[in-house]
Chains A and B, each alone.
Chain A
Amino acid sequence: MAPFDIASSLGPVAYALVFVAIGFGFGAVLEMGGFGDTRKLAGQFYFQDMTVLRVMFTAIAVAAVLIALATSFGLLDMARVFVNPTYLWPGIVGGLIMGVGFVIGGFCPGTSLVAAATLKVDGIIFLLGALLGVGLFGETVGSFQGFWLSSYMGRFTLPDLLGLPVGATVLLVVAMALLLFWAGGIAQQYLGEKKPWAEVRREPTPGGIILAGALIGASLFLVVRGQPDPEARFARMGPDVRKSVEERAIFVDPAEVVALRKDIAVQVAILDLRDERDFNLFHVGGSRRATLPDLESPERLKTLLDQPPTTVTFLVGNGEAAAITAWRRLIAQGVPNLYVIDGGVNRWLERYPVDACVAERAGRVDGRDDPAWRFLYATGSTQPAAWPELSSSRSFRSPCAEPAVSHGDTHQARSWPVHAYTKRVKLKSKAAVKGGCG
């Protein structure tokens, strides 16, 4: 499923050519639309010419509709599409600065490229200025790094903000674009000076009506059809993802989890999917209780998506069934470096048993989600088994020991047997292609 991993599937030359081809289309369309002419660009802000508004918002509406259609039909995996992360205030301040630059210089960076390519001297000079400007930013950003990194909201989209489905949001975008075209035409007619090079407002052409109708029709269709749920998205993912479940590549031995917890280069997060009762009876040290709906809420999902590439997240249940379901849904939503603890808490307790006076065996360890141990009281993470990586268990008081008569040390030193395991965790960094802003 798209997008394609062209960095690894194509050779370096073909990889470069893909981007040259996309850039070629970009440059050619900008030029054909008149974006190489600074008067048409600056004319936007004097109501002389509405080309900027019309081209930009038509492009946004068309692309938004096409993207939503592709994801709706499972042709495009939105989780692997780059969405510009929101840094609210640096973005707004940058936009305010650029607005002034636009009116003074008469171009934006992309359009100055095509102006320069068609030998417009002002475009070439603007381009040189822009190169100076980006250099100046690099020199000075160190002094306001705090602001530049502030108000970070991650992958934050309009559907998240409005609490609307994607289809309804796309419909709003299309409606807003059409409204702007209408208002822009009126503004041009009554406010702007007529220019020979500017297009005069005409009545809507048959083509324009067809385009508007197609955009509205497609977004209404999107509203009705909706977007696939995570299970459906998972089913659409490549065969290698499904194979990784069948071949148990996502199941990590408790011993490997313990080894990773000792690894200073890796952050381990364990999400315990069991209910509160089971969690209180025993849980792996440092794990946090989480429910699937909770993890799929926009807020939580965003933090999961935003984790640094050195973080490994493990899902754990009593057995495996609940963890696998959660894994499938979260993987389909793009959560990176996500694994399931092999056999769940039941296997963990088999590997790292607790004393007989704390819990007794009550069932089999077979991957099912029933607890295999019956705890006599809630131990939380106070048992040595919750922290097998601590070689000395000095801080754990054994409940099975006789009440101390002596004043000696009643703490038990325990060392766990070393288990052999197959390494499963492979840390992956995020998508490489970030569009033009990378």
Chain B
Amino acid sequence: MRTNREPRPYLNPYVAGTLLGVVLFLSFYVTGGGLGASAAMSRVQTGVLDVLAPGHVDRVAYFAEMAGGARNPWAHYAIYMLLGTVLGGFASGLVNRRVKLETRKGPRISVRARWGFALLGGVIMGYGARMARGCTSGQALSGGATLSVGSWTFALAIFASAYAASWFFRRLWT
């Protein structure tokens, strides 16, 4: 028997995919651009760095482009979208009773190990996302829908690499 506190089941993936496709289309239709997250992350990071070390931000070209001198890294559509993404995720989690302080992990590793690997994976992911000029949403999803060749080769690379790496990290997940 299901109690009231139990989380609701996830959507059928094809239904979720269709909804995601519609959101993606609306984004292109209204703004001319797709979805994404990594550009906003880069701006958050640069914005924080700009508070801590503004001189350094001005000297590194990559940061200066976003926050050099009087430029405001926060007043940018990618930041607004990031805000919306967090709000949307939170709202859906609330409605479906999935907002809960917890750690999800594979069965064979400890919570602390999971945290360590999450941090490491995050660093690698962030680095790669900027190298590829976009993450899975900005490149693979948005570029995939607009049929960009670079986005498709990127998507292929990420899947191939993840499957190749999965054997080495199987202890984390199986």
B136 touches A130 (CB 8 A): no
Which residues of B lie under 8 Å from residue A118 when comparing CB positions? 89-90, 93, 98-100
B124 touches A100 (CB 8 A): yes
A91 touches B139 (CB 8 A): yes
The residue that B129 contacts in the complex, of A44, A64, A75, A133, with Cβ under 8 A, is: A133
Grouping DSSP codes into helix (H, G, I), strand (E, B) and loop, the A interface class, with mixed when no group exceeds half, is helix
Q: Does B110 contact A (CB under 8 A)?
A: no
Q: Does A427 contact B (CB under 8 A)?
A: no
Q: Does A84 contact B (CB under 8 A)?
A: yes
Q: Does B4 contact A (CB under 8 A)?
A: no
A104 touches B99 (CB 8 A): no
The interface on chain B, measured as residues whose beta carbon lies within 8 A of the other chain's beta carbons, has a size of 128
Q: Does A227 contact B (CB under 8 A)?
A: no
> Interface with B: A157-165, A321-329, A352-360, A407-415, which one?
A157-165
A91 touches B150 (CB 8 A): yes
B158 touches A80 (CB 8 A): no
CB under 8 Å from chain B, chain A span 169-221: 169-170, 173, 181, 193, 199, 205, 207-208, 211
The residue that A207 contacts in the complex, of B14, B151, B152, B162, with Cβ under 8 A, is: B14
Which residues of B lie under 8 Å from residue A73 when comparing CB positions? none
CB under 8 Å from chain B, chain A span 327-382: none
Query: In the docked arrangement, what's the CA distance between A112 and B44, Å?
Result: 15
Chain A residue with the shortest CB-CB distance to B17:
A58
A108 touches B125 (CB 8 A): yes
Nearest CB of B to A167, in Å? 11
Interface centre among A6, A40, A126, A170, by most chain B C-beta atoms within 10 angstroms, is A126
Q: Does A232 contact B (CB under 8 A)?
A: no
CB under 8 Å from chain A, chain B span 117-152: 117-152
Chain B residue with the shortest CB-CB distance to A7:
B77
Grouping DSSP codes into helix (H, G, I), strand (E, B) and loop, the B interface class, with mixed when no group exceeds half, is helix
Q: Does A121 contact B (CB under 8 A)?
A: yes
B152 touches A158 (CB 8 A): yes
CB under 8 Å from chain B, chain A span 71-122: 75-76, 80-88, 90-122
Nearest CB of B to A275, in Å? 35
B11 touches A126 (CB 8 A): no
Query: In the docked arrangement, what's the CA distance between A43 and B90, Å?
Result: 23
Which residues of A lie under 8 Å from residue B27 when comparing CB positions? 22, 26, 435
B60 touches A142 (CB 8 A): yes
Which residues of B lie under 8 Å from residue A153 when comparing CB positions? 149-150
A56 touches B78 (CB 8 A): no
Nearest CB of A to B59, in Å? 10
Q: Does A396 contact B (CB under 8 A)?
A: no
Known: A60-B141, A122-B115, A169-B147. A29 touches B23 (CB 8 A): yes
Chain B contact residues, CB within 8 Å of chain A: 10-42, 44-46, 48-49, 60-63, 76-78, 80-93, 96, 98-106, 111, 114-115, 117-166, 168-170, 172-174
7 residue pairs of the A-B complex, CB under 8 angstroms, read A32-B19, A119-B102, A135-B45, A141-B62, A157-B148, A433-B31, A435-B27
Chain A contact residues, CB within 8 Å of chain B: 2-4, 6, 15-34, 36-40, 42-46, 48, 50-51, 54-64, 66-67, 70, 75-76, 80-88, 90-123, 125-139, 141-142, 148, 153, 155-161, 166, 169-170, 173, 181, 193, 199, 205, 207-208, 211, 431-438
